[in-house]
Structure 1
């Protein structure tokens, strides 16, 4: 007998099936088999439901078995025995297809390029499954392709016939897949004692494909009774006939399947019994019952009241999910629901899947997401992927992806140490990582000496890094050797397996699982438990598919990538009481108390159909017209199926339903509600839509706000918004005062509340450090030692100084050639060149052309290997950069030679140090006494000191690779003290032990640019004179020079001969004896008194700076001069959070005319306004 049970959603079909089975089990517990066939995703829930029903009777059962079609097939095959080839999984099938695609790449007429793309094997696997399900053979595909003549569709079918045929040949006699097993099941059914005389029930199916119909045909012949449920309307009503028979009807697919079963019954002369359930029994809520009844009707009859349906629109997806989470907690807390009574359905997995998981964790809602997890991003997959890559080139990316996967038993600190060490010294390649000698790479802070003293700290760091790299390199080295020696793919897979076992991956996974379980992350714990078996299955399938064939490591990586992308984990629920999150396609929420449907937006419900990339709907229609084979038209089926899925989702709740949608997408695109939302509005005209705006805290009533406040952690984030209102408007509503007090009293939230409060009401003026803390941070035995640049930094921004020198925050050192390295090498070249000429008693202008270039070349290639352990020779690109640097050095030496030719000031000292403990015996120390017996000591290095031929004056030359300038504003506020400090040092050094009449006086202080300007091509590009003028203009030396014509002409004789200096920014006006400096030149000229005054002033600046540092001042107070601030390139901005738009944050504005500043400096030095000097020096607040 065939029993066909029909009825709309909620009419009790599944309950009837289970009640009938229960009745049979109770009355005849040892009768013939009862087989309940269900869609795979329903088996777990229905089996639990049946067990619970039997438990209520105090009974267990043995007669009934619950199967999906595939598991039913395996059970029959196991019972009937006989040979069965090795089963191949979906993943194995994709690996096999990938091999076939690679082998026949050149033979494919249409899919050649696509076959190289990752994921195409998965697409091909799907369409081969479809062919098998519809009983289509490769020969039929070829015939259909021939009938298309020489068309693109014909070539597509030819390609598919080739690939499908090759797949069948590879499977034949070796493997079986799911579709093959179904075919074998049809053959074995006559031999099954379990099936013979069995009562067979089928529930939850929308339709049956041709292969499933063949199985049903066998069951008709050998089973006793077959009972099938269909979600259909009553055929005795006009509405029911339309909904069932019309191609666009809601139940048309079920109607077609029902007719096919009736046809089979007629074929075998089996009586048919019809039973239709017309009354809906599920709904305790009249509104839900009315919604189901009117779902497929065009004219909707409104019902009274609003019922238990909530319509919600939210400003964002995040806000929508948070509102749903709050409502779920309300159901459990206030209405006695269990978590298991609640289900969440989503259609847009991409936008909502991870977001719901994230929010529900925040709200402490136990949930299970009924979705297979991707293995591709699991640490074990990353380990295998990157380990194989690392053995090919031992490159940085692969190595540290491998290490950071977390299976080498290194702590995070150890990984950071090893990574920083490798980046600093550019350590990569097999020779470096696998060498027997220990790593002994040390930083070089100078390239002047071959041997620098290496401190114990650096030795310990190198030894630690060496020990850590051996811990990594040993197993990776074995893997590399085994892969190279492998003769077959089987050997390569064994090498990977041995590597995983050697580093104890199974044991570490168990430890990770235990740790996750202790912290309450049960789904993560299960994932760690299951992934090892899934990875082993992948490796086994690879061996099965490739066997003893040979392949390169690159090909193996591609196959593994394909395998990882197809490998998915199906986890079981972590317990019994949880909220079930499912998609419309596969869910077992039938007859649940409460359903939350999120993302009910147009475009998602119904979802837009995606065109098949292999055979489009147009292709399928064309194929079907040839009457050789028949394929489903996916677009049409998807459209009809989509309507049915929406119907099913919106009719599953028994008591309560929440429907919500967002008004904007994550990319800020405007969204609107789906058509079903409008239908609900028409059904329940009295039902308003609850709107949740972004600023709901300010716009909701107290009652509405309380609905959102269901969890402490989330209430804390909302409290921040309320407190912002208090800060901006001076008002905090009573409700939020209670929330604040409640959270402040909680042990787990008290500190978080304080952090929120401090963040909103922060005072950018940090408290001073205690003097003892400042002394501990900045001094050694009470000595505050540093370069001029260090103290200039404090005057630019005290907090920046604190971050760099107090907290000692540093950027990661990466081995690359940048401006500092460029400057270091060029400085060293100029020093060696100058000292060599001085030793020989030659002037710079004496060396010309080839000799100068030869000396330059020798010096550069002698010094370059010392720079960062020979970094400039590590790559072709850096060698080219070294070549360009040599060109710059040659140009610089030529130009300095030309300057030497017109100057009576000649280089006398190079790279002269001061304030160092290891400097020359005559090195001068600049020491300033501070309060509390502290001292400030300056140290530094002067690039070059020139002395005139008479020995009466000296001049400072400072080399710069970038831009540089000096002005009185920068000196006054302590921003640029370097040149004046050098002038002070040399003045005291040169005049040590001399009487007043024989003092050597400063002639000037200049910057010289170490660069070779590049000019755009124009009409004068080939005119040497024009080019020289352009170079002179670009390279004029900024600085200050003594206001003395004779000294200025000694510095550059072209001032005398040409009335303007070629190398300085000064010129004359007038002629002959009446010549004087022009107005523009005055900015660069200072009198002897000015120099004396400025040198005395900067000593006071250093003392003030030292006192402020030792006083613990670390204010976030960067200076601002015009549009220039130290914040522009500051590395510490994320730490201080300086924002001039926020209250309390201000720049120190610095300005002033030269006359005003010189007057202030004079008064300060003379001590006439000592009481006001702090205000003058600090600058003005904006």
Structure 2
């Protein structure tokens, strides 16, 4: 029975000393075990190292253990483990159950107990108390003696939760933390450790329970050796500000323990008197180790070669430069990847970035971190399936489940049903309808096409595959259930959707692709799922539990699990967090992310027990874990261990900004290094070097992918007439000959003259895309706005995903359909617009709205209170609008003769034929909302009316640029048809009528007639009228003779002398003819450009707006007016006279 300390500074060879002794011991004739006891995270690496030292172990004496595996040996030998062992996941679920039982008795934590994360926090607190052998009674007792009321209430609440947990625990279970507490007693009964030799390595300190275990080992073993990182030259009494404070405290504690147990302490082995083994004569690293925490320190005046500081503008450039240097070390210097370690204090920030960049540079790497199990698709699928009912089968929950990739549907099938669900607002009970028959198209008068019906049929088949197993699960979950039953239902559900087989196939697939870690992760997750279900059955299986509470319990269980990763290769770069770093082979260390507050890490005082609470407990004789200040001091030891863990070189790097661009400051480590090494190699990578020589470029050539990117940059420099070295020509030749990069290399040269424009499409191909020579005027206007946007929409048929909302286009379709049906109902009832009453309007609109609401996809206007109110508002708006239309017709002599009338092939009016310069003929088709006519003796006049849901007026500037052709084309269609049929019709007006129910500012003194006049003014039609006073009066017969008057029907005013007022928006007969001719010519030009394959990125811009403002395809065209080849077509507004004169000049 003896204890021997093995002291040494970092790198002095403490572990090597132990391994050499073990290798000698196993060769003796003794048969007692030799144990190397290390922290859990170091067992794998320690086993590897031990196997290298021991060639033969004839009696299999040597073993590497952690405290966990040591307890397994003891309990398997002596028994006593009759209860079910629960892990951290089971502990958290049990604490949730305990908390449920005492929640009403809590005082200070009553609200916090329901917050996310509280279970984990309280579980950590209970775990800490167990490590320090603190019972609920001890907490209750000390609470009564405390002066601090807040701490008193905290401890009383924790004690209640802890006590409730213990009562549940001791029914049939044992906490893995309690195993360590009882392990010390069990060791006394275990013969395995009799006369054993034990080496305890890599620890800086121990918990009280671990000290008890060590005490028991000391009484059983022949010798216990404990390594501690200490410097004999410094004072060997505990001082928390000392870098070795933790290990000195441990030494003192162990000596006291030996004194109490009567264990002999052998003379210590100090490795500090010799040259530090790890550094192998490297003077710089030796100087760093001996002076970093020395006060006063000695400076190293020579320029450093082994230690370097590097500064970067951001994290990406920092990691990329490290990758370049690793490639150089391996390729040019002959090092192995396993000789290199990359460490950081913030692996969460750097892990993914390092992995992606290192993979690009073809650097084999192992990221030494654990991944949360709860983010794995298997667990996401389970939680989503359970949450569906409480979340009312909403989009987010359903598609989180569907996109797990585990239910046997293709991406295409999921996308198809997703689009259908979004467009129709499918959620809740709609998922369980026997068949979905929601419309795909939004044209309320059209029947579904055969293709659309086939799509709906396919969507229903996909829906059945999805919903059938869910229906079975949800039926089982209804009503009161015991926890064990819910666990069984989940397992049956997973079997039903074939999850075990799916996982097996995925694992096989990962293995075939050599993605071993992913294969291991999925294998672990399935075991975790089964384990969680088993633990729930054990802990609360007989309890009746609501589904919501069950979801909380199983989620808490999953939260505690992490997926372990195993290094897939022997030769790889270790990327590790500083606190987990263990690579004895490290010859080159990159310590990255060395910024203020991160490394050394400043511990936060934000736990359940703050620093003051811990101090008060200590004063009351209750030993708990160290406070945040002490942890911050002990962070110095991590710094020391990191700086001394390399044998040949140390590179310390830091960025000056994070990924969001926020400023970062260098750590105190940087300033300390600069003080100790005044001439330290200090490189800045904040600015790219403008020019590099051939040799510098050659030294930085690494692997294909990153160098290809560098090649692209150099070619861009060449294009901008910057100097580049001819080595890039050799690089280019390499890629041109490379099978993988040949096409891409060719493309970048072709891209030298790249402009953000598109080439014309061949004429025959454009005709295939546009399918026929029938063009609507609205499509031509779209082409005039931007040819490229037109091509994307009508050529490639791209469209935005339709979501469940009532959009302005939907509103327009809805309004047009109601007005059309109402107008036709008038004809059916043999009524005239002049005869109808307000009651008739209300009655018919009510019926028509009800009919059309049921035809809208997804029945959106019936889907919620908000949309029902919108339908009510729309109905009232249409009643008001129709009443105004009736008034406008009643006040004039024009009669509506056609509604929603089409011009086109086999329609009432023929298409407008346009002959192109090459002799081709195109047909212009369209649909006119309303045509009004007036028969005046031998003259017939026509008025075109278009219904709009927004403000719209004729802009002759827009007409001139092809942006507003619609009404003039409609007018021309009727006039041309009449001309061919021998009739003679004259244009009277082209007008827009706004569908609205305007809000009028009023007061109690305002008369009803005055209010009505305000409404009529706001809803007066806009557009162009024929400048003929007689015709104008026929459109509004309220205009008086011999008096000045302004129409409330059309945009016209008559002077006192009967002449047309200047405020009238109109043109004369000749000007109407000019407009018609110009529009035809514009249509011809636009059609020729279109069929010639012009799809240029050429948006227009006015003072108020541009065609890019509401364009859905900006992410495709990437238009940017700062590019030399991207510019708007600027449209400046001109007066009516100027425009008509320009048009006249163009058509003559």
Residue aligning to 2:537: 543
The one of 603, 606, 613 aligned to 2:600: 606
Equivalent residue, structure 2, for 1:994? 982
Number of the residue aligned with 1:1046: 1030
Q: How many residues align?
A: 1136
CA distance change for structure 1 residues 1013 and 590 in 2, over 3 Å: closer, same or farther? Answer: farther
Contact 2:438 2:857 in 1 (8 A): no
CA contact (8 A) 1:516 1:524 kept: yes
Please name the residue that 2:194 is paired with. 196
Gaps of 5+ in 1: 1167-1182
In structure 2, the CA distance between the partners of 1:371 and 1:350, relative to structure 1 (3 Å rule), is: closer
Matched with 1:823 is 812
Residues 77-92 of structure 1: pairs in structure 2 closer than 5 A: 77-92=75-90
- Report the equivalent of 2:1049: 1063
| Structure 2 unmatched runs, 5+ | none
Say whether 1:952 aligns with 2:946. Answer: no
1:4 match: secondary structure = strand
Which residue of structure 1 aligns with residue 1127 of structure 2?
A: 1146
Match of 1:1078 among 1041, 1050, 1061: 1061
Runs of 4+ in 1 over 6 A off after TM superposition: 1018-1021
Q: CA deviation at 1:803?
A: 0.7
Structure 1 counterpart of 2:897, from 872, 884, 908: 908
**Equivalents in 2 of 1:53, 1:653: separation in Å?**
21
How far did 1:484 drift?
2.1
Report the equivalent of 2:178: 180
Query: In the aligned structure 1, how far is the partner of 2:590 from the partner of 2:840?
Result: 85
Paired position in structure 2 for 1:156: 154
Residues 313 and 657, structure 2, Cα contact 8 Å, conserved in 1? yes
CA contact (8 A) 1:119 1:565 kept: no
Deviations 1:249-292 (A, max 9, x none): 11122112112222222233332221211121110322111111
- Check conservation: 2:756, 2:1126, Cα contact below 8 A: yes
Equivalent pair of 1:54/1:60 in contact (CA under 8 Å):
no
Contact 1:915/1:926 (CA < 8 Å) preserved in 2? yes
TM-score, normalization by structure 1: 0.92
For residue 925 of structure 2, the aligned residue among 933, 939, 947 is 939
Of 408-417 and 828-837, more deviation after overlay is shown by 828-837
Q: Does the 8 Å CA contact 2:339/2:585 hold for their aligned counterparts? A: no
What is the deviation of 1:1141? 0.8
2: CA distance, partners of 1:143 / 1:77: 33
Mapped to 2, the partners of 1:696 and 1:71 lie a distance apart of 53
- The correspondence for 2:1081, drawn from 1100, 1110, 1135, is 1100
Aligned pair partner of 1:491 in 485, 492, 496: 485
Per-residue deviation at 1:841? 4.6
Q: Could you say what secondary structure the match of 1:696 adopts? A: coil
Corresponding residue for residue 1143 of structure 2: 1161
1:876 CA displacement: 2.2
Q: Distance in 2 between matches of 1:977 and 1:793?
A: 11
Aligned to 2:744: 752
The equivalent of 1:302 in structure 2 is: 299
Is the deviation greater in 808-817 or in 759-768?
Answer: 759-768
Tell me what 2:841 maps to. 852
- 2: CA distance, partners of 1:871 / 1:539: 41
Please name the residue that 1:1004 is paired with: 989
Per the normalisation by structure 2, the TM-score is: 0.95
| Aligned mates of 1:866, 1:166 — CA distance in 2 | 59
Rounded Cα–Cα distance in structure 2 between residues aligned with 1:686 and 1:76: 56
Residue 927 of structure 1: how far off its partner (Å): 2.9
Superposed counterparts of 1:36-55, under 5 Å:
36-55=36-55
SS at match of 1:335: coil
2:517 — aligned with what?
523
- Report SS of the residue matched to 2:7: strand
Matches within 5 A, 1:761-772: 761-772=753-764
Distance 1:1052 1:520, change over 3 A: farther
Task: Supply the distance in 2 between the matched residues of 1:750 and 1:315 (Cα, whole angstroms).
Answer: 33
Out of 1146-1155 and 363-372, give the one that drifted further: 1146-1155
Structure 1 residues 399, 1054: closer, same or farther in 2, change over 3 A?
same
Quote the residue 1:1176 is aligned against. Answer: none
User: What SS does the corresponding residue of 2:1063 show, helix, strand or coil?
Assistant: helix
Instruction: Give the conservation status (yes or no) of the 8 Å contact 1:54–1:61.
Output: no
Report if aligned partners of 2:343, 2:577 keep a CA contact under 8 Å in 1: yes
After TM superposition, give the deviation of residue 241 of structure 1 in Å.
Answer: 0.8
Does 1:972 find its partner at 2:972?
Answer: no
For 1:1125 and 1:216, the matched residues in 2 are separated by 79
Q: In structure 1, what is the Cα distance between the partners aligned to 2:738 and 2:1004? A: 78
Tell me the distance in 2 between the aligned counterparts of 1:397 and 1:1131.
24
Q: 1:1179 maps to what in 2? A: none
Q: 1:315 to 1:932 in 2, by over 3 A?
A: same
Return closer, same or farther for 1:940/1:61 CA change in 2, 3 Å cut-off. Answer: farther
Secondary structure of residue in 1 paired with 2:124: helix
1:674 correspondence with 2:667: yes
Look up the match of 2:556.
Answer: 562
Contact persistence 1:391–1:477 (CA under 8 A): no
Distance in 2 (alpha carbons) for counterparts of 1:61 and 1:896: 105
Q: Which residue of 2 aligns with 1:402?
A: 401
Report the 3-state secondary structure (helix = DSSP H, G, I; strand = E; otherwise coil) of the residue aligned with 2:895: strand
- Structure 1 contact 785–939 (Cα < 8 Å) conserved: yes
Deviation at 1:834, TM superposition (A): 2.4
Q: How many Å apart are 1:509 and its aligned residue?
A: 2.2
Q: Which residue of 2 aligns with 1:1177?
A: none
| Partner Cα distance (2:141, 2:900) in 1 | 87
In structure 2, do the counterparts of structure 1 residues 546 and 241 end up closer, same or farther at CA, with 3 Å as the change threshold?
same
Relative distance call for 1:215 and 1:864 in structure 2 (3 A) is same
Q: Kindly state the Cα deviation for residue 313 of structure 1 after the two structures are TM-superposed.
A: 0.7
CA positional deviation for 1:815: 3.2
Return the offset for 1:1158.
2.8
Q: 1:787 aligns with which of 776, 792, 799?
A: 776
SS at match of 2:36: strand
In structure 2, distance between residues paired with 1:618 and 1:705: 58
> What is the alpha-carbon distance in structure 1 between the residues aligned to residue 211 and residue 831 of structure 2?
103
Deviations 1:602-623 (CA, angstroms, capped at 9, x unpaired):
1112111112321100111123
User: Quick one: distance in 2 between partners of 1:18 and 1:850?
Assistant: 102
Matched, 1:553 2:547: yes
Tell me how far apart the structure 1 counterparts of residues 1063 and 883 of structure 2 sit (CA, whole Å).
28
Deviation at 1:14, TM superposition (A): 0.7
Does 1:575 find its partner at 2:569?
yes
C-alpha separation in 1, matches of 2:1131 and 2:171: 87
- Distance in 2, matches of 1:1055 and 1:300, equals 103
Q: 1:594·1:653 contact (CA, 8 Å) conserved in 2? A: yes
Q: 1:361 & 1:187 partners in 2: Cα distance? A: 50
Correspondence 1:19 to 2:20: yes
1:705 Cα offset (Å): 5.0
Q: Distance in 2 between matches of 1:545 and 1:756?
A: 64
Cα distance in 2, alignment partners of residues 477 and 838 from structure 1: 51
Query: C-alpha separation between the residues in 2 aligned to 1:955 and 1:492?
Result: 71
Structure 2 SS opposite 1:836: helix
CA–CA separation in structure 2 for the residues paired with 1:435 and 1:60:
72
Give the corresponding residue for 2:1114: 1133
Indicate how the Cα distance of structure 1 residues 746 and 1029 shifts in structure 2: closer, same or farther if over 3 A, else same: farther
**Pair 1030,717 (structure 1): closer, same or farther in 2 beyond 3 Å:** farther
Match of 1:1174 in 2: none
Counterparts of 2:58 and 2:1095, CA distance in 1: 76
Aligned pair 1:442/2:439, yes or no?
A: yes
Counterparts in 2 of 1:1021 and 1:737: CA distance versus 1, 3 Å: farther
The 1-side partners of 2:157 and 2:712 are apart by 62
Q: 2:507–2:522: 8 Å Cα contact kept in structure 1?
A: yes
Contact 1:10 1:591 survives alignment (8 Å): no
What's 1:928 paired with? 914
1:698 paired with 2:686, answer no
Q: 1:457-479 CA distances to partner (integer Å, 9 max, x unpaired)?
A: 12221221111111111211221
1:204-603 equivalence runs, <5 A: 204-234=202-232, 237=233, 240-241=234-235, 244-273=237-266, 274-278=268-272, 279=274, 280-284=276-280, 285-303=282-300, 304-392=302-390, 393-430=392-429, 432-436=430-434, 438-448=435-445, 452-484=446-478, 487-590=481-584, 592-603=586-597
Q: State the shift of 1:35 in Å.
A: 1.5
- Rounded to whole Å, the distance in 1 between the matches of 2:664 and 2:701 is 26
Equivalent residue for 1:1118?
A: 1099
1:635 to 628, 636, 644: 628
Distance 2:1038 2:751 in 1: 62
Q: Deviations over 1:302-321 (max 9, x none)?
A: 22231312211101011111
